[in-house]
Structure 1
């Protein structure tokens, strides 16, 4: 599976789950200890609002704080849909993956940025599913695609406080369980 295809599948899955959030579930807890369902969707929406800017070459200073705080407003689903559509179009634009983007970690290859975004969609899609109590499956091809990347990066991310320490699972566990576990979640 190509990385862009994995991103698209993870984006579609996350979107489908956002559309399944009932009005009374936005304040429900997720496996991300500090985030409710709304907080989690807000986080992803903000990230995807940034993507078109960064992929066009904007600096962090140029984007500024425009996507800080509550970006969901009164219609979280519509806010997510708009951000997701803009992000998808930006990643699919001709030449989008050819030029490094500015991130908080400095200049980052666009393919690395795409990997980060795909991983965030897949793992937070699992978190969202758990929060709203729906099927939490990650597409097996997506899980397999992202597992090696997550294993390679997880120690550095833990040092930054981005993810909890890995949860032990057998080497024979399916890729989804190993992916979730390496990022500090209990499958």
Structure 2
């Protein structure tokens, strides 16, 4: 029996993996909508965040090729590690300490790396001229999630370095017209310019 969280993670990871597989070798150094990040850096961040999901369990990512050597293999190995935890009820439901308080591991995965996949999938797609449409269900879920963040915490999330050196969660909100699509509104709220092009 699989959980709703595991199913949602798998769907999002499948979509992200399709984008990683579709990047041409010459596109990896290309700039992304995330300031200072290349297309390869977007994948590196996602792989690193998978490792962060394992840390509360005293685990680390399994040996695998690096993102520098093989981004596809690096992501596939990282997602396999997280999927193994989500598939084990004893591990998935184990409480762990997170920046949001004490949560079951699966909820931590759902709120952090799983929610990151569609947003950084957009970054990777936009950087490499792929279809950058985010699943409308993910847009709706992410919008509800970010709008529920208290103002004080949102201010901290927008402050570079507030959660550690070189960590920037959200950028300043980008102003859009009232006719903006739900996807563009979400991206602008978290600090992305929906009109950004390489």
Both structures adopt the same fold (TM-score exceeding 0.5): yes
Tell me the alpha carbon deviations over residues 117-149 of structure 1, each in whole angstroms, 9 at most, x when there is no partner: 122111111000011110001111111112111
TM-score between the two structures when normalised by the length of structure 1: 0.80
Distance 1:115 1:16, change over 3 A: same
2:134 matches 1:127? no
Instruction: Give the structure 2 partner of residue 20 of structure 1.
Output: 22
The answer on whether the counterparts of 1:101 and 1:109 sit within 8 Å (CA) in structure 2 is: yes
Contact 1:3/1:145, CA 8 A, preserved across alignment: no
Tell me how far 1:185 sits from its aligned partner: 0.8
Gaps of 5+ in 2: 163-167
Per the TM alignment, residue 28 of structure 1 is displaced from its structure 2 partner at its CA by: 0.5
Q: Normalising by structure 2, what TM-score?
A: 0.76
Detail structure 1 runs of 4+ shifted over 6 Å in the superposition.
Answer: none
Query: Is residue 81 from structure 1 mapped to residue 83 from structure 2 by the alignment?
Result: no
C-alpha contact 2:50 2:79 (8 A) present in aligned 1 = yes
Tell me the equivalent position of 2:39: 37
- Judged with a 3 Å threshold, the aligned counterparts in structure 2 of structure 1 residues 128 and 12 are, in CA distance, closer, same or farther, namely same
Q: Which residue of 2 aligns with 1:139?
A: 135
Structure 1: segments with no counterpart, 5+ residues = none
CA distances 1:104-128 after superposition (whole Å, capped 9, x unpaired): x375413244212122111111000
Query: Is 1:93 equivalent to 2:84 in the alignment?
Result: no
Larger deviation, residues 173-182 vs 90-99 = 90-99
Confirm or deny that 1:181 pairs with 2:194: no
> Does the CA contact (< 8 Å) of 1:143 and 1:179 recur in 2?
yes
Q: CA deviation at 1:6?
A: 3.3
Q: Relative CO higher for 1 or 2, CA cutoff 8 Å, sep ≥ 6?
A: 1
RMSD (CA atoms): 2.6
> How many residues are matched?
176
